[in-house]
Amino acid sequence: MLSLIQREVVENKKWASDEEVLDYYAVAQCTPGVIAVNTATFIGYKTKGVLGAIAGTFGVVLPSLIIISIIAAVLQNFMEYSIVGHILAGIRVAVAVLIINAVVTMGKKAIADKLCAVIAVVSFIVSVIFPKVSPIFIVLSAAFVGLVTMKKGGEGK
Amino acid sequence: MIWLRLFIEFFKTGLFAIGGGLATIPFLRVMSETTGWFDARNLSTMVAVGESTPGPIGVNMATYVGFTAGHGKSGMLSALFGGFLATFALVLPSVIIILIVAKVLATFKENKFVKRSFYSIRPAITGMIASVALMMTKSGVFTKGGNLLHSIDIRAAILFAALLILTQKVKLHPIFYILIAGTVGAIFSM
């Protein structure tokens, strides 16, 4: 996604430089929400202000809106056929594997030390035992733990 | 009022799903538990579609969930509106935040408290996604309730092990693994 944004914004439209796009991307990772959307919003804002931000956001989500609506509508109509059930049963296995792999990839980046490992394990156990506990509660608790264990004058890492 | 609830649920998700990619998934899993709009099997289908289509997966998932929730209410038109509303609600928090703090975002990024919060939030998100992985594995490999050993679906377990190895050996776009698994599912009537 980033390379696509870079090609379009830097090379084709010349709205920003390579460094600027990387900066926007870095900032987008530190704001809540979907990173690609944040990057598009940010580039839109830097290029054409509030209207640019809205246009950028709208543009980046529109393909998803159209494509997913079509697929969801089609799938809804094919659900009665038993073969669709079999296909989806196979796909469920693939999705489980994909998410396991994603967890491993994320874990390598996110778990930098023992404290991170403890936070990850506790979050895992809490969400398994209490499936209805709000993820917001877990996110805020994790932020709290991070902040209270911060060393004075530390670099935040 | 389903539209208000849909908006609030996705606004919250957009505000707290930090870390990109699959970060919205734990939020959607809890949403399925608390709203009843969709179940674990639907969620798995949504992830498969979200991974196989262009566009950020978080946005794809929001459109899909909104569509499903709206469809349950009254057919195609409300389904389309639901998809639009959920997507709008998901991106709204970041649009607002970026508009408000765009000028100071560069310093915001360097702020040590912000850095430290993200340092401890990311492992939490990872742990929550791991719990979804466990749930998805259960729903994919174990069919019935009761004794774990008796409820294991042998064909699914073999496919699971094969895919786990395959994804380590060859790095393909997720859509290929999904296609392979779907084909296997159809051939063996899983």
Instruction: Provide the pLDDT confidence category of residue A68 given band limits of 50, 70 and 90.
Output: very high
Question: Could you tell me the residue ranges of all domains in chain A?
Answer: 1-78
Per-residue pLDDT of A44-53, as tens digits, reads 988 888 899 9
Q: Helix or strand or coil: residue B142?
A: strand
First to last CA, chain A: 27
Tell me how far the alpha carbon of residue B99 is from its chain's centroid.
27
The pLDDT value recorded for residue B52 is 87
CB of B125 closer than 8 Å to CB of B23? yes
Contact B115 A34 (CB under 8 A): no
Average pLDDT over residues A79-100: 91
For A107-138, write each residue's pLDDT tens digit. 998 998 999 999 999 999 999 999 999 999 99
Residues of A in contact with B90 (CB under 8 A): 33-34
Provide φ and ψ at B142, rounded to 5°: -105, 125
Mean pLDDT over all residues of chain B? 88
Residue numbers in B near A112 (CB within 8 A): 119
B147 pLDDT tier (thresholds 50, 70, 90): low
**Whether A90 and B182 lie within 8 Å, measured CB to CB:** yes
Q: What is the dihedral of CA B178, B184, B189, B190, to 10 degrees?
A: -60
pLDDT of residue B177: 94
Mind listing the pLDDT tens digit for each residue in B11-35?
999 999 887 768 899 999 999 999 9
Q: Which residue of B has its CA nearest to A70?
A: B80
End-to-end Cα distance, chain B: 38
Kindly tell me the number of DSSP H helices and DSSP E strands found in chain B.
9, 0
Chain A residue with the nearest C-alpha to that of B98: A42
B66 inside 8 A of chain A by CB: no
Mutating which of A3, A4, A42, A64 best tests the B interface, going by the most B Cβ atoms within 10 A?
A: A64
Among B105-114, B121-130, B179-188, the least confident range: B105-114
Task: List, as one string, the DSSP characters of B43-85.
Answer: HHHHHHHHHHSSS-HHHHHHHHHHHHHHHHHHHHHHHHHHHHH
